[in-house]
Homo-oligomer: A and B are copies of this chain.
């Protein structure tokens, strides 16, 4: 994945050089801090690839790509407050390092900064970009609210869960790709297929994330195994497990939610998940959305090779178990 690395380091450099005003320090310093915490930079890369697909040079898509990344970071800063998360990529979150008020307000101004980046486009492109960006931002808020609501609910259906991840995380990948395509003057049909590719790939990726959280190899996943189970978080894996389990297993799962020994909690839950083959069911869902993504990608008419997007899909989905 050499091209991903080179795009990522290109963006990292641009983000490092993206400077905020010096004053008020308490408003802008948290943003300089947060933006350099790293990350995969997947969304801005997608935006650059979307533009490349239709022959635009990277520099042309750069403001849109940075707008998407700034927006994503704005949502992370606010989500971290809501989740009371102490750490992000191993470093203190903004509300922990400063305080919640500063995290709210610097998040707000980061959102404005994302919109400001779009001003560099001519009026017609700006209008198309803004309309898509607004719709996506609204949906991301809706997805985050659904996620918070689900925590307080007993039952969440497969369809509701998938709708939540579609809004909370996947539409932004579709938006990033399509913004690149808009900048490159792609046709409406091509734009729409690229958007669908991104959204469905995003759903597949998120389902896989749910599976890996419990069933992944720790060294490869790069985070604590079973974090979702420990937090009693609803994921597609737990939803499918409950649908497939018999009464005895359901009773045990219920008990495990209160289990204090975390090794027992994680390992025993994992055994039940595997016994009822919930992982298999989840992989079927994942495969379904992955295939939908690939079908949309194949429909796109473009001069440039789609190789990089196929490689990106492969890279995102073929992570090890």
A residues near B (Cβ < 8 Å) are 21, 23-24, 26-27, 78, 81-82, 100-102, 104-106, 108-109, 111-113, 115-116, 118-119, 123-124, 126-127, 130-131, 134-135, 137-138, 141-142, 144-146, 148-149
Alpha-carbon separation in the docked complex, A130 to B126 (Å): 10
- Contacts A123-B127, A127-B123, A127-B126 given; indicate if A142 touches B26 (C-beta within 8 A): no
Copies in the complex: 2
A119 to B123, CA, bound (A): 12
Write the chain B residue with the least CB distance to A124: B123
Contact A105 B141 (CB under 8 A): yes
Query: A106–B144 Cα gap in the complex (Å)?
Result: 10
Query: Given A27-B145, A82-B104, do A119 and B131 touch, yes or no (CB 8 Å)?
Result: yes
A142: contacting residue among B101, B109, B131, CB under 8 A: B109
Among candidates B21, B104, B123, B134, residue contacting A112 with C-beta atoms closer than 8 Å: B134
Closest chain B CB from A231 CB (angstroms)? 16
The answer to whether A78 and B108 touch across the interface, beta carbons within 8 angstroms, is yes
Q: Which residue of chain B has its CB nearest to the CB of A152?
A: B26
- Residues on the B chain within 8 Å of A141, using CB: 27, 105, 108-109, 112
- On chain B, the residues within 8 Å of A118 by CB distance are 130
Within the complex, the shortest CB–CB distance from A264 to chain B, in Å, comes to 32
Question: A131–B138 Cα gap in the complex (Å)?
Answer: 20
Residues of B within 8 A of A149 (CB): 24, 26
CB distance from A284 to the nearest CB of B (A): 28
Which 9 A-B pairs rank lowest in CB-CB distance, beginning with the nearest? A123-B123, A109-B141, A27-B145, A24-B145, A82-B101, A123-B127, A112-B137, A116-B134, A112-B138
Q: Pick the contact of A138 from B81, B109, B123 — CB < 8 Å?
A: B109
Given known pairs A146-B24, A148-B26, the reply for A119 and B127 (CB within 8 Å) is yes
List the B side residues contacting A131 at CB < 8 Å: 119
In the assembled complex, how far is the CB of residue A133 from the closest CB belonging to chain B, in whole angstroms? 8
Contact between chains at A27 and B142 (CB < 8 Å): yes
In the complex, what residues of B have CB within 8 A of residue A134's CB? Answer: 112, 115-116, 119
Q: Shortest CB–CB separation between residue A34 and chain B, in angstroms?
A: 15
Contact of A104 among B78, B123, B130 (CB under 8 A): B78
Q: How far is the CA of A106 from the CA of B145 in the complex (A)?
A: 9
Complex-state Cα separation, A102 to B138, whole angstroms: 14
Tell me the bound Cα distance from A106 to B119 in angstroms: 25
